[in-house]
């Protein structure tokens, strides 16, 4: 009887460890259902408008489908802060002001699994686009001139 009980406890512990170790590859809530353009290059984006959505962002995503990215929308222009905590893929980050002009670019930001990840802070920002570093057509952007168009 004791042997069965020990076996049962062992099975429960193993199942618990497996369940805790599993992190979903993709999030069911992520929808690339909005179209934006940057200098006539189209990007299908998932839109993050609330503080909770922006905080989660592209965490735990293992791939971005070709031609897709994320659009972070802030209520007003100001300083924004990003980090790559629990982000599993490198990303290019494009920062735009309230007139949707490009004000800053950070290329190939690497994932971070540490508790204290590097923070990226940018002033004069209201919109941020995150795309894969391999996204075609976004390599020759010009600060102050490249424009974000919100096509819906």
Q: Which CATH architecture has domain 26-150?
A: Sandwich (2.60)
- Between the CA of residue 65 and those of 14, 31, 137, what are the distances in Å? 34, 11, 16
Say what the pTM is. Answer: 0.81
What is the reported pLDDT for 6?
A: 43
What is the reported pLDDT for 9?
A: 44
3-state secondary structure string across the chain:
CHHHHHHHHHHHHHHHHHHHHCCCCCCCCCCCCEEEEECCEEEEEEEECCHHHHHHCCCCCCCCCCCEEEEEEEEEEEEEEEECECECCCEEEEEECCCCEEEEEEEEECCECCCCCCEEEEEEEEEEEEECCCCCCCCCCCCCCCEEEECC
Do 48 and 83 touch, CB atoms closer than 8 A? no
Per-residue pLDDT of the chain (152 residues; tens, 9 = 90+): 555 544 444 443 444 433 444 444 456 678 999 999 999 999 999 999 999 999 999 999 999 999 999 999 999 999 999 999 999 999 999 999 999 999 999 999 999 988 889 899 999 999 999 999 999 999 999 999 999 999 86
| Residue 78 CB-half CA count within 13 A | 5
What is the reported pLDDT for 108?
A: 95
Do 49 and 75 touch, CB atoms closer than 8 A? no
What are the extents of the domains in the chain?
26-150
The tokens for 109 are: 């930001």
């Amino acid at each position: 009887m004791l042997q069965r009980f020990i076996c049962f406890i062992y099975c429960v512990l193993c199942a618990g460890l497996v369940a805790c170790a599993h992190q979903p590859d993709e999030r069911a809530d992520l929808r690339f259902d909005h179209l934006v353009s940057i200098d006539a290059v189209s990007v299908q984006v998932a839109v993050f408008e609330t503080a909770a959505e922006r905080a989660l962002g592209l965490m735990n995503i293992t791939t971005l489908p070709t031609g897709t990215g994320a659009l972070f929308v802030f209520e007003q222009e100001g300083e924004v802060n990003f980090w790559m905590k629990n982000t599993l893929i490198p990303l290019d980050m494009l920062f735009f002001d309230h007139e949707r002009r490009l004000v800053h670019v950070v290329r190939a930001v690497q994932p971070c699994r540490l508790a204290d990840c590097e923070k990226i802070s940018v002033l004069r920002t209201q919109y941020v686009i995150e795309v894969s570093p391999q996204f075609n057509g976004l390599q020759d952007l010009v600060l102050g001139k490249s424009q974000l168009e919100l096509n819906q």
